[in-house]
Each structure stands twice: as C-alpha cells, then as structure tokens.
Amino acid sequence: MEFMEFPPHKPRGTLARHVSIVSVALLTLGVFRLAEDEITGKAEVSDAYGFTLLFVVAGYYIGWLPEIWRNGKRTVLGPFVMPSFYLLILLYLYFSFRSYFIQPGAAGFTILLQLFVMVCLLCRTE
C-alpha cells in the first residue's frame, strides 16, 4: 500500500461534511454581525468574509483530500495536491489573524470553532 491509499470500504456520506462546514460558516457570519468593534462600536460582517470563504474552501478540500489524492496520483497535477493544501491553510491562518486584530472577541470564538471542524474533517478516514 502506498501513502494515503486506503483499502476499499463503503463510500463515505457527505451530508455530515456539508452540514458542519456550511453551519459553521453561517455561524461565523452571525457572530461577526452581533459583535461590536472596539473602535467604532458597529458590527462589521465584512471582517469575516475573507477567512470564512477560505474556511469553506479549505473545509471541502480537506473533506475530499483522500479522493483528490487518489485520483491525482499519476497525473500532472499530482505533485500539487499537498502544496495547494498547505497554501490554503496558510491563507486561512493569515486572514484569521487579520480579522483577529480587528475584532478579537468574535474572531477568537469562530477561529476555534472552524479549526475544530477542520481537525474533525481531517480525522475522518474512509
């Protein structure tokens, strides 16, 4: 067996993956809508758009990473599977730290929740 090649099992369900990613993304936007900015006092949902969008993209990429790895192994795009994952995670962390400096209370809670969902998606095996 090669790296990241799993024995055949029944296909994984995707409903839990979709529900967890979409619900946490909507919760993130809701938390930023209710949060108050320390300087202006107004809630700015636009502070959460960048890292919420990257969370959705990274979450789906993580969820489909075994299939992407298996299908892209012997293609031209095969060597770019993991570097693109690393790039997505680094961009996500950059935008999350950026929003943390703008609204620390809302960003701290939502980043913790989003990272928890991404770790749960990474721990799922086929």
- Residue 58's pLDDT band, with cuts at 50, 70 and 90, is very high
For helices 15-34 and 46-63, what crossing angle results, to 10°? Answer: 170
Q: Note whether residue 64 is domain-resident.
A: yes
C-alpha 110/C-alpha 117 separation (Å) is 11
The token duo for 51 is 């890292």
Residue 22 lies in a domain: yes
Q: Give the H or E element holding residue 12.
A: none
Q: Is 106 within the bounds of a domain? A: yes
What's the pLDDT score for residue 47? 72
Range of the domain at 35: 15-123
pLDDT at residue number 14: 80
- Residues in Cβ contact with 114 at an 8 Å cutoff, skipping those fewer than 6 apart: 24, 28, 51, 55, 59, 96
Q: Residue 1 falls within a domain, yes or no?
A: no
Q: Quick check: 27 and 110 in contact, CB under 8 A?
A: yes
Task: Specify the pLDDT at position 122.
Answer: 85
How many domains does the structure of the chain reveal? 1
**pLDDT higher than threshold 70 for residue 117:** yes
Residue 5 lies in a domain: no
Q: Is residue 7 part of a domain?
A: no
Residue 58 lies in a domain: yes
> 10-37 pLDDT, tens per residue?
566 688 889 999 999 999 999 888 887 6
Q: Does residue 8 form part of some domain? A: no
Q: How many CB atoms neighbour CB 18 within 10 A?
A: 13
pTM score, two decimals?
0.81
Distance CA 120, CA 109 (A): 17
Please give the structure tokens belonging to residue 39: 């300087």
CA atoms of 85 and 89, how far apart (whole Å)? 6
